[in-house]
């Protein structure tokens, strides 16, 4: 038994027959081929799978693909436009906010949404805003620097 879903991913329309139990992350990665979002914990704790759904950061590992039917998804692959990095990507690069890079796509998606909600966050607000995303490499300090730098640049 499958169901047909139609949705926009990174600005392009896709339509597939999917099993109702197919998770959104598996749909994005294995059916459509956007492997930027990663699977770190399958329980929505680590945030490596974070994508934007209608402008809100969500964890795609605990959501079914059918729940995204008719909606708008942005993955990390959709951030850079015309070969130009999104300012948050640029900030992560400049500030050395990643090491192994596995949490990074989710971390960038969450950080981007964080600034959209709160353009001038304090360090405390950044740290709390990133609570749903785990990084085991950086100790978070350079990630906080990156978000702060991206906010400063946007405000400049």
Indicate whether 30 belongs to the interface with another protein (CB under 8 A).
yes
Indicate whether 128 belongs to the interface with another protein (CB under 8 A).
yes
CB of 77 to another protein, least distance (A): 5
Name the residue with tokens 């805003």. 129
Indicate whether 32 belongs to the interface with another protein (CB under 8 A).
no
Site stretch for another protein (CB under 8 A), options 1-9, 52-60, 63-71, 92-100: 92-100
How far is the CA of 17 from the CAs of 28, 52, 61, 123, 138, in angstroms? 13, 22, 19, 44, 40
Q: What would the two tokens of residue 96 be? A: 């050395």
For 7-59, give the secondary structure using H, E and C.
Answer: EEECCEEEEEEECCCCEHHHHHHHHHCCCCCCCCCCCCCCCCCEEEECCEEEE
State how far the Cα of 143 lies from the Cα of 123, in Å rounded to an integer.
11
CB of 4 to another protein, least distance (A): 19
Indicate whether 151 belongs to the interface with another protein (CB under 8 A).
no
State how far the Cα of 45 lies from the Cα of 10, in Å rounded to an integer.
24
Indicate whether 57 belongs to the interface with another protein (CB under 8 A).
no
- When binding is defined by CB under 8 A, the residue of 24, 34, 53, 68 that contacts another protein is 34
Judged by the rule CB under 8 A, the positions of this chain that interact with another protein are: 19, 21-22, 26, 29-30, 34-43, 45-46, 48, 75-77, 79-80, 85, 89, 92-96, 98-105, 108, 123-124, 126-128, 130-131, 133-145, 149
């Amino acid at each position: 038994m499958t169901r047909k879903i139609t949705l926009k991913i990174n600005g392009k329309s896709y339509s597939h027959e999917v099993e109702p139990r197919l998770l959104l992350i598996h749909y994005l990665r294995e059916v459509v081929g956007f492997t930027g979002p990663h699977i770190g914990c399958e329980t929505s704790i680590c945030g490596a799978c974070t994508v934007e759904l209608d402008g809100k950061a969500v964890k795609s590992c605990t959501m079914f693909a059918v729940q995204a039917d008719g909606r708008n998804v942005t993955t990390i692959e959709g951030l850079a436009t015309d070969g130009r990095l999104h300012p948050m990507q640029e900030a992560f690069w400049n500030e050395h906010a990643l090491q192994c890079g596995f949490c990074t796509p989710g971390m960038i998606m969450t950080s981007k949404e964080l600034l959209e909600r709160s353009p001038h966050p304090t360090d405390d607000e950044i740290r709390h805003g990133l609570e749903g995303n785990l990084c085991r490499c950086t100790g978070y300090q350079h990630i906080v620097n990156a978000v702060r730098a991206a906010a400063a640049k946007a405000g400049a």
